[in-house]
């Protein structure tokens, strides 16, 4: 394990000498696993910029190398393009142009993703603009070491004054380093951001990841369009994004948000008060809450199911898919006939076709009980008919890299439940 004191920030200038790494093959995918590395020059340290060669000795490009990680090499450029300071400036300018010029996000929000890792050519790094703060999460030691230098070049383009940088929760186990959270000297503990006129507070100390889920922005607005005078249940609501927008933008009659953690729920209540809307937030396990509602016969016109990441690696695929099935089966039973349900997953390893199959299987078991459980069988339920209305994903400030399909991680399926 690399100690925190050894994980120092680096500049973006080219080093005087660049070591070489030879790989079995280098395609267009930016991520290379250790088993594909054949030879490494002596003295290469975690996070070093390296020159990458193919098996026949031809230069393939440049990347950031970490001998401790299973995902050992993250490509920055291909061919002869050197990742010098001008290279980094081009990457950042292109990312800013997408968000500010093409998408015109400043017209509707002051909270959006500016750097989306591989999709913006900077693998292992995400940065969100949250008001006048740049909040970064680093998934590689190489990007963690360069994050402050990147932010110092990015901030003038966006007019931000503060920053915070944190390693991902899995950095210890996957990258072999434990870096401290870095912050600008006067970073506020909280900021207030807005999307489509609705305000939300972001708590950098207590928040997950960068502090706010910008990826669901457009889905929150779309959900609001179904909510006029409706009853809404927001399961795994975190800080109340869907719940508050259902009331504020959608004009819902009654909104309940449910989450297991008290800290985000406290912020959800603040967000409702901040927008002068009334919503009820309940601390509870989603499974237990749904079973309680079923027992009392409660149904909702609109149900949102947006659980945290349930599949973090392939070893968790089967169990995580089963959890999605159980959550969806119960949630569908809570939808009033003809109502709308939004089911989401941020588990990139769950293929879209498999997610839809899971939803179909959930619907087959989501109706009223027609045969009780016995000592030798499970309870049987009548099926519910589901109409798929739309399939969406993350907002456009989270683009998908054509050479890295894993960047399409968020799936949102919109259903009418009959």
The model's pLDDT over 291-324, given as tens digits with 9 standing for 90+, comes to 999 999 999 999 999 998 888 878 888 888 888 9
Element (H, E) at 53: strand 48-53
The string of pLDDT tens digits covering residues 261-297 is 999 999 999 999 999 999 999 999 999 999 999 999 9
Which phi and psi angles does 304 have, rounded to 5°? -110, 130
For 156-187, how does the pLDDT look when each residue is reduced to its tens digit (9 = 90+)? Answer: 999 999 999 999 988 888 899 889 999 999 99
In the CATH hierarchy, which top-level class contains the domain 85-188?
alpha beta
Beta strands in 367-409 (DSSP E): 369-371, 380-381, 386-392
Least confident of 66-80, 243-257, 340-354: 340-354
What tokens were used for 211? Answer: 């502090």
Q: Structure pTM? A: 0.92
Where are the CATH 3.30.750.80 domain residues in the chain?
85-188
Q: What is the dihedral of CA 152, 157, 159, 162, to 10 degrees?
A: -20
Sequence ranges of the chain with CATH classification 2.30.130.10: 18-78
- 417 C-beta neighbours (distance < 10 Å), count: 21
All CATH 3.40.50.150 domain ranges of the chain, comma separated, are 213-417
Strands 73-78 and 59-65: antiparallel
CATH topology of domain 18-78: 2.30.130
Express the helix, strand and coil content of the chain in percent, nearest 5 each: 30, 30, 40
Q: Domain 213-417: what homologous superfamily?
A: Vaccinia Virus protein VP39 (3.40.50.150)
């Amino acid at each position: 394990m690399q100690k925190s004191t050894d994980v120092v920030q680096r500049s973006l200038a080219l080093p005087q000498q660049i070591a070489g790494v030879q790989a079995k093959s280098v395609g267009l995918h930016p991520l290379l696993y250790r088993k594909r590395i054949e030879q490494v020059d002596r003295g290469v340290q975690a996070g070093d910029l390296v020159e990458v060669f193919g098996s026949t000795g031809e230069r393939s490009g440049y990347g950031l190398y970490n001998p401790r990680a299973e995902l050992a090499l993250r490509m920055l450029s291909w061919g002869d393009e050197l990742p010098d300071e001008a290279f980094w400036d081009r990457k950042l300018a292109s990312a800013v142009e997408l968000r500010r010029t093409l998408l015109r996000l400043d017209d509707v929000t002051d909270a959006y993703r500016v750097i989306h890792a591989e999709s913006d050519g900077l693998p292992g790094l995400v940065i969100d603009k949250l008001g006048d703060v740049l909040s970064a999460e680093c998934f590689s030691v190489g990007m963690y070491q360069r994050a402050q230098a990147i932010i110092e070049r990015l901030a003038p383009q966006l007019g931000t004054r503060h920053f915070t940088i944190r390693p991902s929760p899995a950095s210890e186990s996957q990258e072999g380093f434990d870096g401290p959270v870095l912050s600008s000297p006067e970073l506020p503990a909280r900021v207030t951001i807005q999307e489509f006129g609705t305000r939300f507070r972001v708590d950098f100390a207590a928040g997950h990841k960068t502090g706010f889920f910008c990826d669901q922005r457009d889905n929150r607005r779309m959900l609001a369009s179904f909510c006029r005078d409706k009853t809404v249940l927001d399961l795994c609501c975190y800080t109340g994004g869907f719940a508050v927008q259902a009331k504020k933008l959608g004009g819902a009659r009654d909104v309940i948000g449910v989450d297991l953690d008290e800290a985000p729920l406290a912020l959800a209540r603040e967000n409702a008060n901040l927008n002068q809307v009334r919503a009820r937030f309940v601390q509870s396990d989603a499974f237990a809450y749904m079973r309680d509602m079923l027992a009392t016969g409660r149904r909702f016109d609109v149900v949102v199911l947006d659980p945290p990441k349930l599949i973090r690696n392939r070893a968790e695929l089967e169990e995580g898919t089963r959890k999605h099935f159980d959550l969806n089966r119960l949630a569908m039973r809570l939808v009033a006939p003809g109502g709308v349900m939004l089911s989401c997953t941020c588990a990139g390893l769950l293929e879209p076709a498999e997610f839809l199959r899971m939803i179909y299987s959930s619907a087959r078991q989501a109706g009223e009980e027609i045969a009780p459980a016995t000592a030798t069988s499970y309870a049987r339920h009548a099926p519910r008919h589901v109409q798929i209305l739309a399939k969406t994903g993350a907002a456009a400030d989270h683009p998908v890299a054509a050479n890295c399909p894993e960047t399409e991680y968020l799936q949102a399926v919109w259903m009418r439940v009959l």
